[in-house]
């Protein structure tokens, strides 16, 4: 089984250090981990380091599988709308990244499957520039999934989606992770989504890893007070599952 380990990961933009010393043992294939933390904490920067899109100290180790250009795939937070491509072309382009340009029939079938699974096959021949933010987010997910990565880094993938789509996408991703043994890391703001869908959670605060472990042991009243500066309760819902209930923002 594939496993991902981070060892002393850091990053800087110019001379400004924005991330330091993030270490994590063995995230296993099939697991879904939430990356949470306030705005500008360094979540996207951590993803870019893991995907080798930026350089910095530390080691990203992917074991138990052959390393290759397709192994780690980053789905960015802002999916550009300026492309002149259609949805279909953009997914095909992503599929062909790092390989030759010859397109096999099976690859076209795979693209149809992914677009259908995400219920965006009706958009296949629309231009990317003509889509809503939520539709673009689903296309970005199709572009990532078509590459069948071993590690999928999703940066706030549900931020522009309606509730139905949010639940649909999170269920879909957790199912695929289990089915294909993919390691999924998701940057999330909705902590109830983290509690519901992610077995592990990593908290990034001010460029450092403030906590990590089983989600229910990481998302606590104290963490919400210290990191998010909110007054909140973790209560059990009628089905016995933990839920965050926010009472207010703390000042001072």
Ligand X SMILES: Nc1ncnc2c1ncn2[C@@H]1O[C@H](COP(=O)(O)OP(=O)(O)O)[C@@H](O)[C@H]1O
Interatomic CA distance for residues 37 and 202, integer angstroms? 8
The contact mask relative to ligand X for 41-80 (x = CB under 6 A, - = no) is xxxxx-----------------------------------
**218 interface partner picked from Mg ion, ligand X, none, CB below 5 to 8 A per type:** none
Instruction: Name the β-bridge partners of 227.
Output: none
**Within 10 Å of residue 132's Cβ, how many Cβ atoms?**
12
**Interface stretch with Mg ion, choices 21-29, 72-80, 124-132, 143-151 (CB under 5 A):** 72-80
**What b/e sequence results for 196-226 when a residue is b if at least 16 CB atoms lie within 10 Å of its CB, and e otherwise?**
bbbbbbbbbbebebbbbeebeebbeeebbee
Token pair, residue 48, equals 């870019």
**Interface with ligand X (CB under 6 A), residue from 1, 13, 53, 68:** 13
Of 2 and 203, the one with the shorter C-beta distance to ligand X is 203
* 44: contact with Mg ion by CB under 5 A: yes
H or E segment to which residue 183 belongs = strand 183-187
Among 40-48, 57-65, 169-177, 217-225, the segment contacting ligand X (CB under 6 A)? 40-48
First-residue to last-residue Cα distance in the chain: 47
Q: Least Å distance between CB 209 and Mg ion? A: 16
Burial of 111 per CB tally in 10 Å (0-12, 13-18, 19+)? buried
Residue (148 or 189) nearer to ligand X, CB: 189
Considering only residues 18, 83, 167, 210, which one is a binding residue for ligand X as defined by CB under 6 A? 18
Summarize as ranges the residues that interact with ligand X (CB under 6 A): 13, 18, 37, 39-45
């Amino acid at each position: 089984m594939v496993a991902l380990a981070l060892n002393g990961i850091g990053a800087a933009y110019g001379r400004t250090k924005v991330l330091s010393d993030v270490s994590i043992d063995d995230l296993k294939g099939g697991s879904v981990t939430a990356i949470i933390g306030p705005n500008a904490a360094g979540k996207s920067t951590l993803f870019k380091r893991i995907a080798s899109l930026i350089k910095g100290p530390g080691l990203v180790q992917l074991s138990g599988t052959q390393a290759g250009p397709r192994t780690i795939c980053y789905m960015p937070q802002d999916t550009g709308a300026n492309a002149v491509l259609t949805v279909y072309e953009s997914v095909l382009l992503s599929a062909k990244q790092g390989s030759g340009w010859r397109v096999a029939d099976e690859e076209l079938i795979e693209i149809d499957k992914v677009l259908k699974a995400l219920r965006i096959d009706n958009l296949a021949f629309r231009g990317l520039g003509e889509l809503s933010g939520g539709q673009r987010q689903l296309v970005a997910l199709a572009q990532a999934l078509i590459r069948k990565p071993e590690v999928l880094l999703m940066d706030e993938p549900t931020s522009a989606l309606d509730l139905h789509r949010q639940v649909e996408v999170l269920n879909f991703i957790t199912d695929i992770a289990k089915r294909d043994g993919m390691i999924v890391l998701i940057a999330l703001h909705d902590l109830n989504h983290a509690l519901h869908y992610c077995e592990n959670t990593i908290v990034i605060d001010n460029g450092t890893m403030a906590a990590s472990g089983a989600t229910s042991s990481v998302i606590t009243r104290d963490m919400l007070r210290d990191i998010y500066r909110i007054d909140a309760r973790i209560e059990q819902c009628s089905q016995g599952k933990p839920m965050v209930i926010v009472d207010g923002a703390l000042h001072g």
